[in-house]
């Protein structure tokens, strides 16, 4: 018999977690305040694009293991194990994370609990949040110590969310070391099938678990900014950053993954997580330890300006009146997520310079139009590139990687392409008579 689980929040994290826990054989109820999201999910459709997720949703709904509700009372009645998967966005005008959604899950749920329960936090939170929520839950619940809060950070990547959840690199669990309860045992039950595959399971205190997550994202962000800094030097020195990355990447201590230079990192995680990490370290009196992340952030943001400038250079010094085709709007391929997307940021900057910009993305057009209604949008590559003076590839979708110069030859006005992700074969494009510019490439 599986466990009875509630998952609070049905965004990228929560919806995936709910579906995958049902896939592991548990009985799951997904909880959200947004009725329109719930209606979609109940029909087996994720409210965002994530490869393979709809199939897992549908299969488990059909099997009767997965349901959705907006009622906390129903969730409290149904489950003994609760996962928090709500968002912790950047606070407006500040670096710190906004933990209001996480707080309100505990504040609403704790008084409704009728039997011993474990609340596992999955959201990325400032270190110290779990202990604070643990105390809050105990205070608000008549069950006292029988309600535990543990932290079980999530490391899934969008685009690989199902695979990362069912086959993670590791499972990290932070428990209350002062009053150890059932949390570890409950996690071992929930993740039994995954642990049986030999996936490492690390049990720590809650603070360490919270920090593992932020440290991992800070490291990844640093790795990307490192290679983007190298791209700047390569451009100045007439060297090639892709060859450099290949060569240093063979050193197993460095590794080739996450060493792709380009327009930098975006999305709902890395940018806000490094900022929240700096803010939290400051509160703890350890701000000096993370001042380098400020530089990581600046290198990253500079990529966006640099890409606009490169486009202006290619246009001959001015973008006024130029027609620019932007291929890609999502912050990365296989996602329709445009939160802090470098591609859209660049498209906006180019438009502000007086160009007429037309954007195409295989999945993210609808979200983009809502956020940036003033940009032009196209239904496909041909329409976006129609009459273009410059074509930019800003998200490395497979569809764009496979583009053949001949396909665009007769559509564009000028054969000029800028590869913001170094994902095209430059020899092919140059060989076909195109002016090709990459990032940190000769
Ligand atoms: C990231 C982490 O990779 C996950 O482990 C983590 O769970 C997640 O954040 C989170 O905190 O929820 P994600 O935001 O889905 O996952 O995206 P990544 O694959 O990390 O890519 C982030 C950004 O970095 C993208 O804009 C991508 O284009 C960029 N990137 C990535 C590069 O510019 N170069 C690279 O070599 C790799």
State yes or no: pLDDT of 1 exceeds 90.
no
pLDDT tens for each residue of 365-394: 999 999 999 999 999 999 999 999 999 999
Give the residue among 201, 206, 182 at the shortest CA–CA distance from 191: 201
Q: Is ligand 1 within 6 A of the CB of residue 258?
A: yes
Q: Is ligand 1 within 6 A of the CB of residue 332?
A: yes
Catalytic: 269? yes
The CATH code that applies to domain 4-199 is 3.40.50.720
CB 257 within 8 A of CB 223: no
- Please identify, by atom number, the ligand 1 atom nearest to the C-alpha of residue 273: 11
- Could you tell me the distance, in angstroms and rounded to a whole number, from the CA of residue 95 to the centre of ligand 1? 19
Domains 4-199 and 205-442 share a fold: yes
Give the residue among 59, 273, 26, 21 at the shortest CA–CA distance from 165: 21
Q: Is ligand 1 within 6 A of the CB of residue 270?
A: yes
Please choose from 90, 157, 306, 439 the residue to mutate so as to test ligand 1's pocket, defined by most ligand atoms within 8 A of CB: 157
Q: How far apart are CA 415 and CA 389, in angstroms?
A: 7
Write the residue with the smallest CA distance to atom 21 of ligand 1: 265
pLDDT tens for each residue of 137-148: 999 999 999 999
What are the φ and ψ backbone dihedral angles of 361, each rounded to 5 degrees? -145, 140
Give the residue among 201, 226, 379, 230 at the shortest CA–CA distance from 292: 226
The DSSP annotation for 68-108 comes to EES-HHHHHHH-SEEEE----PBPTTSSSB--HHHHHHHHH
The CATH homologous superfamily for domain 205-442 is: NAD(P)-binding Rossmann-like Domain (3.40.50.720)
Per domain, the residue ranges of the chain are 4-199, 205-442
State yes or no: pLDDT of 41 exceeds 90.
yes
- Could you tell me the distance, in angstroms and rounded to a whole number, from the CA of residue 151 to the centre of ligand 1? 21
CB 3 within 8 A of CB 78: no
Q: How far apart are CA 48 and CA 58, in angstroms?
A: 15
Q: Give the model's pLDDT for residue 24.
A: 98
Instruction: Take residue 171 and report the two structure tokens written for it.
Output: 């499972």
Query: Looking at beta carbons, which pairs linking 310-315 to residues 24 or more positions away fall under 8 Å?
Result: 310/418, 310/437, 311/346, 311/350, 311/355, 311/390, 311/392, 311/418, 312/353, 314/390, 314/416, 314/418, 314/435, 314/437, 315/355, 315/389, 315/390
- Please identify, by atom number, the ligand 1 atom nearest to the C-alpha of residue 264: 33
Write the residue with the smallest CA distance to atom 33 of ligand 1: 264
Cα 299 to Cα 278, 306, 344, distances in angstroms: 16, 10, 18
Residue 268's Cβ-side half-sphere holds a number of Cα atoms within 13 Å equal to 17
> What percentage of residues in the chain have a pLDDT greater than 70?
100
Length of the chain, in residues? 442
pTM here is 0.97
The DSSP annotation for 250-300 comes to TSTTT-STT---SS---SSSHHHHHHHHHHHHHHTT-GGGGHHHHHHHHHH
pLDDT tens for each residue of 76-107: 999 999 999 999 999 999 999 999 999 999 99
pLDDT band at 442 (very low <50, low <70, confident <90, very high): confident
pLDDT tens for each residue of 151-192: 999 999 999 999 999 999 999 999 999 988 999 999 999 999
Q: Is ligand 1 within 6 A of the CB of residue 264?
A: yes
Write the residue with the smallest CA distance to atom 13 of ligand 1: 157
Q: Is ligand 1 within 6 A of the CB of residue 260?
A: yes
Give the dihedral of Cα atoms 398, 16, 216, 82; nearest 10 deg.
180
Write the residue with the smallest CA distance to atom 35 of ligand 1: 258
């Amino acid at each position: 018999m599986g466990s009875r689980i509630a998952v609070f929040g049905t965004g990228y994290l929560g919806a995936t977690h709910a579906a995958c826990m049902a896939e592991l054989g548990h009985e799951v109820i997904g909880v959200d305040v947004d009725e329109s999201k719930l209606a979609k999910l109940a029909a087996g459709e994720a409210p965002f694009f994530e490869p393979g997720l709809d199939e897992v949703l549908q299969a488990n709904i059909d099997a009767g293991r997965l349901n959705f509700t907006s009622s906390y009372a129903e969730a409290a009645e149904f489950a003994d194990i609760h996962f928090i998967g709500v968002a912790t966005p950047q606070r407006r005008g500040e670096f710190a994370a906004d933990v209001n959604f996480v707080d309100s899950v505990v504040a609403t749920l704790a008084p409704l609990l009728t039997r011993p329960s474990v609340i596992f936090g999955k959201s990325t939170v400032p270190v110290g949040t779990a202990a604070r929520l643990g105390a809050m839950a105990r205070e608000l619940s008549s069950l006292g110590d029988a309600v535990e809060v543990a932290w079980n950070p999530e490391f899934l990547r969008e685009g690989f969310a199902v695979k990362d959840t069912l086959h993670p690199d590791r499972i990290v669990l932070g428990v209350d070391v002062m009053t150890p309860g059932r949390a570890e045992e409950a996690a071992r039950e929930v993740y039994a099938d995954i642990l049986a595959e030999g996936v490492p399971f690390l049990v720590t205190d809650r603070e360490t678990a919270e920090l593992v997550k932020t440290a991992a994202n800070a490291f990844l962000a640093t790795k990307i900014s490192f290679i983007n800094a190298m791209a700047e030097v390569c451009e100045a020195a007439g060297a090639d950053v892709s060859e450099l990355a290949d060569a240093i990447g063979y050193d197993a201590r460095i590794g080739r993954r996450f060493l792709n230079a380009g327009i930098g990192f975006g999305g709902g995680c890395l940018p806000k997580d490094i900022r929240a990490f700096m803010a939290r370290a400051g509160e703890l009196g350890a701000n000096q330890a993370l001042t380098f992340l400020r530089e990581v952030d600046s290198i990253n943001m500079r990529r966006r300006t640099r890409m606009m400038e490169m486009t202006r250079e290619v246009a001959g010094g001015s973008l006024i009146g130029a027609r620019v085709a932007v291929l890609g709007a999502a912050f990365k391929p296989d996602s329709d997520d445009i939160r802090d997307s470098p591609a859209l940021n660049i498209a906006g900057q180019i438009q502000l310079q007086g160009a007429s910009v037309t954007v195409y993305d295989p999945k993210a057009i609808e979200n983009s139009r809502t956020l940036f209604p003033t940009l032009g949008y196209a239904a496909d590559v041909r329409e976006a590139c129609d009459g273009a003076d410059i074509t930019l590839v800003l998200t490395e979708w497979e569809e764009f990687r496979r583009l053949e110069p001949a396909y665009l030859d007769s559509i564009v006005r000028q054969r000029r392409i800028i590869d913001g992700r170094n994902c095209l074969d430059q020899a092919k494009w140059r060989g076909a008579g195109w002016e090709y510019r990459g990032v940190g490439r000769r």
